[in-house]
Structure 1
């Protein structure tokens, strides 16, 4: 199964759940109170699929890189930084002499090995700036995030209020606008991931030597 097949399959079941929820929202045999409860549930479900797909797709993306690249050297600077997160933290905590010694061995050590990425951390509140930081590490552009920034912020804010037991009720018309924004981001992200993996240095092993300190 290709990465686009996996992304499509994951999107399919999420879209099915959201579509079923919308069917319930459009029923006329529910009382206003029942509709209010359903709308709150729909808001929470929409956020869960927004965060869930972003985390799933970026995790899949980094796993693909880790499984196909033999060295961190060829990675884009930000992706290299992400891959070396654990090692950079270790270096920062070393005494001066050990730090210098580790640097002297660096080109033949961690940076020459296959990348090992940390978990994709959405921080349980996937604000647009959090997603943009992850996209920078991935060396992926997704303009839909910035284009829908205010709607995504509103989604996270309302979801947090609902999750914390606040009496928040959003109109169904606002939910529709929010759902459209989320789909724009998810579709564009899936396409951007598939496209990025079709280009260097991921399409084929690139033997060009990266700069040792371009991520420090």
Structure 2
């Protein structure tokens, strides 16, 4: 992930196949007999599918952005504080047996003296969604990458209750009735927040918001 074009292509290609699959699934629901057992079953099964694409796409976009920034080969002095924190915390995590007190001191030393050091961004492992991408985890991941999540913070209830809670209950064998209209509305909302993540990452990379001082 060395160029802006490569990053954008990756975001677009991953979004395209997910959107195609979800639209195909929605078409199957629409073709099923209205209020039939088949349609209700498809709608129930579709919620875990929507969640899987939401988590999978958010993880892909944020991981690709982390990789893109990590491969800029910038110094800590050039990077947004979020990436400075990521780099220093990763370095401390690699020091086995370090006490809490020493960790605090070494973190301070690194921040105060390390501006000219090439940043060691832990991009190879990607971001960790913890297989449970609720709104709090989503917004924290945005914050950790210096991204602005405020435009979708109004979607917290949608993510936590209409998507994640329902997905969990269905996945654990509980019966929840999901009608075709509710499913289609959720389908559109999920595509909307996926598209937001794509645009947020693409815009941040293009505008170099990962830099402390952007190039002129």
- For the pair 1:15 / 2:19, whether they are aligned, the reply is yes
The CA deviation string for residues 65-108 of structure 1, in whole angstroms up to 9 with x for no partner, is 01113323322112321233222444992486797578657766
TM-score (normalised: structure 1)? 0.81
Tell me the equivalent position of 2:117: 112
- For the pair 1:197 / 2:205, whether they are aligned, the reply is yes
Report if aligned partners of 2:35, 2:179 keep a CA contact under 8 Å in 1. Answer: no
Tell me the equivalent position of 1:182: 190
User: How far off its partner does 1:54 sit?
Assistant: 0.1
- For the pair 1:49 / 2:53, whether they are aligned, the reply is yes
Alignment coverage as a number of residue pairs: 207
Q: Which moved more, 1:11-20 or 1:162-171?
A: 162-171
CA distance in 1, matches of 2:103, 2:45: 54
Tell me the equivalent position of 1:129: 136
Tell me the equivalent position of 2:72: 68
User: How far off its partner does 1:16 sit?
Assistant: 0.6
Task: Please show how residues 22-37 of structure 1 align to structure 2 within 5 Å.
Answer: 22-29=26-33, 32-37=36-41
Report if aligned partners of 2:82, 2:145 keep a CA contact under 8 Å in 1. Answer: yes
TM-score (normalised: structure 2)? 0.81
**Unaligned segments of structure 1, at least 5 residues:** 208-216
Q: Which moved more, 1:96-105 or 1:180-189?
A: 96-105
RMSD value over aligned CA atoms?
3.1
Tell me the equivalent position of 1:146: 153
Alignment CA distance shift 1:171-1:110 (3 Å): farther
Tell me the equivalent position of 1:93: 98
